[in-house]
Amino acid sequence: MNYAVATVVPDAEATYALVNDPQHVAFLQKQCRIYGSPEGTTTALRLALEEMAVGIAKGFLRLETTVTVYGDYEGKRLVEEITLQLTSDKKRREAGDTFAWTLSPQRHDRLRVFRDLWERGYVVTFGSKFGADFLIYKDDPKRAHAVALIVVKGFEEEFARLDVVSFCRVAKMVKKKLMFACVQPSDADKNDDEKGDSKDSGSTEVAADKVVYISLTHALLVSRQEETGEE
């Protein structure tokens, strides 16, 4: 099997896709590291936009629409719009026609971070139960624990100190690393001074294909608070 087929469900809250064939579900999970989530009590697998984007970009997922809901032309148009929005860069999206189906810049950042983590070899799932965007695993989530919480932020978005401390404490309680991730704009280059500052602060920064990761630990924050006398 070279690819799986998923049916697009343009929900009012969030568009997703369903994989109904058990063989296709097994293919995605065992060979493609895409685990999705169960759809009710059925054997179908529900794919979020981030998972759909990776599958389309890598060629192991094809989308279709329900003929009874959409006509042939409308269905093809919807799939084309979703595919363009999920896999194209900003310039290509903006150069296209006016689309009825679009995504916010924040969601595009999530798509990019999810794909980068997947390309690094991790199994990526969603971390809402810990207040994070994603969880990453080094093995099958059914057999292993997540190794880190991933929180996606805008490249120039300010961090509220209370939020940072809260995330660090949650990560410590569940014994996982905490990584903040952002997508670096192509015209924003970091200079050597900024890199030096990040090293001096005790954070770890790794840039790969315009996705930047910053790791913070609860111990680091505690030591800083003790130095300044804060509580």
pLDDT at 183: 92
pLDDT at 208: 39
Mean pLDDT of 166-188: 85
Please tell me which residue, 25 or 88, carries the higher pLDDT value: 25
Whole-number percent of the chain with pLDDT over 90: 44
List, in order of start, the domains of the chain with CATH numbers. 1-90+97-103 (3.40.1170.20), 105-186+209-230 (3.40.1350.10)
Cβ neighbors of 114 (< 8 A, separation 6 or more) are 50, 51, 53, 54, 124, 134
pLDDT at 189 over 80: no
Q: What DSSP string describes 202-216?
A: T-EEEEETTEEEEE-
| 77-88 pLDDT tens trace | 778 888 888 876
pLDDT at 118 over 70: yes
Mean pLDDT of 86-103: 64
216: confidence class by pLDDT, cuts 50, 70, 90: confident
* pTM over the 0.85 mark: no
CA distances from 69 to 16, 19, 60, 108, 167 (A): 15, 17, 25, 27, 42
Whole-number percent of the chain with pLDDT over 70: 72
| 145-168 pLDDT tens trace | 999 999 999 988 887 778 888 888
pLDDT at 96: 55
Cβ neighbors of 133 (< 8 A, separation 6 or more) are 110, 113, 126, 127, 150, 151, 152, 181
169: confidence class by pLDDT, cuts 50, 70, 90: confident
Looking at every residue in the chain, the average pLDDT score rounds to 80
